[in-house]
């Protein structure tokens, strides 16, 4: 098995176990057993469980960032944000286990992966900020909207709404959930004097 395939197998095993049990209680033995590899394979590839989780967080957020960047529509800032929201919802639906880990670890009292998550959070929020800035530059956001705060709010909303959809409202379509989120954004974008 190639090193890349082995790492993917370990990521998948960690996601499966962490989705039901959380990260903190997982052991290297648990991960190795779930992946069907020797315990030493985890140490060889990542050095420790913490190294594996750190790499998993970076890997998952990197995939999310790539999707969000690919969603950009040059000529339409609000449409571009809608595409970003849709891409984020698709990612969260596809990688629900990773998204659950991300939500639980992001807003937990600073713990083992706080430093890594702080950097990764900023990577995603900077993509959302860029989209919101484009809307503001087009004169479609109320004066006084603080873009960094709005970007963090939208990112948090997306994570929570998407997990709520997957857990409590799976009968809703992705388009329905996207349109619900965008209703808020479009309402603000349609009223640029809202904050005055």
Query: Does 196 fall in a domain?
Result: no
Give the integer Cα–Cα distance in Å for 125 and 148: 8
Alpha-carbon distance of 147 to 153, in angstroms, equals 10
Yes or no: say if 14 and 26 are a contact pair by the CB < 8 Å rule. Answer: yes
In a domain, 80, yes or no: yes
* Alpha-carbon span 10 to 45, nearest angstrom: 9
62 shares its domain with 22: no
Mean pLDDT across the chain: 87
Same domain as 41, residue 62? no
Per the domain annotation, does 194 fall within a domain? no
Predicted confidence (pLDDT) per residue in 22-70, tens digit: 777 889 999 999 999 999 999 999 999 889 888 888 988 998 999 999 9
Q: Are residues 8 and 95 in the same domain?
A: no
Domain co-membership, 27 together with 104: no
Q: What is the pLDDT of residues 76-122, one digit of tens each?
A: 999 999 999 999 999 988 888 888 888 888 877 677 778 888 889 99
Is the same domain home to 155 and 102?
yes
pLDDT band of 193, cuts 50, 70, 90: low
For 156-180, the pLDDT digits (tens) are: 888 889 989 988 999 999 999 999 9
Give the per-residue pLDDT at 146: 94
Q: Does residue 123 lie within any of the structural domains?
A: yes
Cα separation, 84 vs 66, in Å, equals 11
Domains held by the chain: number: 2
């Amino acid at each position: 098995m190639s090193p890349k395939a082995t790492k993917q197998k370990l990521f998948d095993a960690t996601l499966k176990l962490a989705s039901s049990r959380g990260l903190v209680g997982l052991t290297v033995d648990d991960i190795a057993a779930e992946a069907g590899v020797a315990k030493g394979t985890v140490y060889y590839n990542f050095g420790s469980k913490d190294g594996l989780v750190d790499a998993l967080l970076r890997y998952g957020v990197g995939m999310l960032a790539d999707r969000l960047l690919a969603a950009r529509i040059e000529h339409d800032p609000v449409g571009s944000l809608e595409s970003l929201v849709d891409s984020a919802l698709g990612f969260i639906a596809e990688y629900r286990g990773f998204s659950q880990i991300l939500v639980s670890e992001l807003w937990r009292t600073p713990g083992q992966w706080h430093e890594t998550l702080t950097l990764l959070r900023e990577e995603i929020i900077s993509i959302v900020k860029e989209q919101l800035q484009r809307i503001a530059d087009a004169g479609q956001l109320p004066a006084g909207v603080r873009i960094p705060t709005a970007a963090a709010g939208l990112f948090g909303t997306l994570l929570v709404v998407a997990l709520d959809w997957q857990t409590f409202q799976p009968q809703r379509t992705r388009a329905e959930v996207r349109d619900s989120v965008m209703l808020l954004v479009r309402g603000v974008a349609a009223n640029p004097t809202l904050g005055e």
